[in-house]
């Protein structure tokens, strides 16, 4: 038995999210169907670093599976991509030890969120960036973002539907870069709660528009109450960009 770790990119537009759901096209469903073909009809469950919601993209989602085939690890991208549709692509694969787990061995994750700030929404970006044509004070947004760095209880910045009990996470980096008409958020941390990046981005946009002061973000954290933070930004601007593992 060999454990294979794969990095996969997908365009979230046509998927009903990552996780298998009956009667819906999902990323996990497509990958497991492709693996089942390779394993002559035998079903294999894959484990990913985490779920992504409907519409959310991935540039570097990671999953693993165990195979009894003798296929060389580096051949898996070619084999799987032949069976997968072209809105999903396995970028790389390698053999890993049995104590590697795509979810439990995660050291850090990076998400990106893309805002199209053009006055008119760019047709090419309609599924891949969120159009926000209103003025933004990016300096205030950076000031607000600094309050979120480090270890905090992110209850206020996670969906009220979150089931996990421990809501303490560490954010290593929140960066905003302007590239042509786009504003790109990079958010990196040791783990993220449900909707956390989308609520952080939504709140920072409300700081940028003047609805909140940068210092309000500190109070939002302290309140530990989802209702005090800003709106959840739409799914289609979000990318699971990279997953880092312990060496």
Answer for which of 38, 54, 89, 96 binds a second copy (CB under 8 A) is 89
Contact flag: residue 238 with a second copy (CB under 8 A) = no
Residues of this chain, 11-30, that bind a second copy according to CB under 8 A: 11
Contact flag: residue 9 with a second copy (CB under 8 A) = yes
CA 194, CA 63: separation in Å to the nearest integer?
A: 19
Residue 113, beta-bridge partner list = 185, 238
Pairing of strands 150-153, 168-179: antiparallel
Contact flag: residue 77 with a second copy (CB under 8 A) = yes
CA 219, CA 4: separation in Å to the nearest integer?
A: 44
CA 190, CA 173: separation in Å to the nearest integer?
A: 10
Contact flag: residue 121 with a second copy (CB under 8 A) = yes
Contact flag: residue 88 with a second copy (CB under 8 A) = yes
Answer for which of 1, 41, 124, 247 binds a second copy (CB under 8 A) is 124
Contact flag: residue 200 with a second copy (CB under 8 A) = no
Q: Which stretch binds a second copy (CB under 8 A): 84-92, 149-157, 177-185, 190-198?
A: 84-92
Contact flag: residue 173 with a second copy (CB under 8 A) = no
Nearer to a second copy, 61 or 67 (CB): 61
Q: How far is CA 36 from CA 24, 28, 48, 88, 167, in A?
A: 18, 12, 17, 17, 36
Q: Which stretch binds a second copy (CB under 8 A): 65-73, 120-128, 148-156, 202-210?
A: 120-128
Write the burial class of residue 183 (CB in 10 Å: 0-12 exposed, 13-18 middle, 19+ buried).
buried
Residues of this chain, 52-71, that bind a second copy according to CB under 8 A: 57
CB 68 within 8 A of CB 208: no
Catalytic positions:
53
Contact flag: residue 128 with a second copy (CB under 8 A) = yes
Answer for which of 123, 163, 165, 246 binds a second copy (CB under 8 A) is 123
CB 7 within 8 A of CB 27: no
Tokens of 23: 């009667």
Residues found near a second copy in the complex (CB under 8 A): 9-11, 57, 77, 81, 86-91, 120-124, 126, 128
């Amino acid at each position: 038995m060999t454990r294979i770790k794969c990095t996969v990119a997908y365009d979230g537009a046509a998927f009903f999210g990552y996780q298998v759901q009956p009667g819906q096209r999902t990323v996990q469903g497509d990958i497991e169907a492709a693996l089942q073909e390779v394993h002559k009809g035998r079903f294999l469950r894959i484990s990913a670093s985490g779920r992504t919601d409907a519409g959310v993209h991935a540039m570097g989602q990671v999953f693993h599976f165990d195979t009894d085939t003798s296929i060389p690890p580096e051949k898996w991208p070619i084999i799987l991509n032949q069976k997968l549709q072209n809105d999903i692509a396995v970028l790389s694969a390698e053999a890993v030890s049995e104590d590697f787990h795509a979810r439990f061995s995660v050291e850090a994750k990076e998400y990106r969120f893309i805002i199209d700030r053009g006055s008119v929404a760019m047709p090419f970006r309609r599924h891949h960036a969120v159009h926000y044509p209103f003025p933004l004070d990016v300096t205030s947004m950076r000031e607000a973002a600094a309050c979120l760095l480090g270890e905090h209880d992110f209850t206020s910045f996670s969906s009220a539907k979150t089931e996990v009990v421990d809501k303490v996470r560490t954010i290593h980096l929140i960066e905003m870069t302007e590239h042509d008409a786009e504003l790109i958020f990079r958010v990196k941390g040791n783990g993220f709660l449900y909707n956390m990046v989308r609520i952080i981005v939504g709140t920072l946009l409300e700081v940028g528009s003047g609805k909140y002061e940068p210092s309000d973000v500190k109070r939002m954290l302290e309140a530990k109450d989802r209702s005090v933070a800003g709106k959840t930004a739409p799914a289609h601007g979000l990318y699971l960009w990279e997953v880092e593992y312990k060496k």
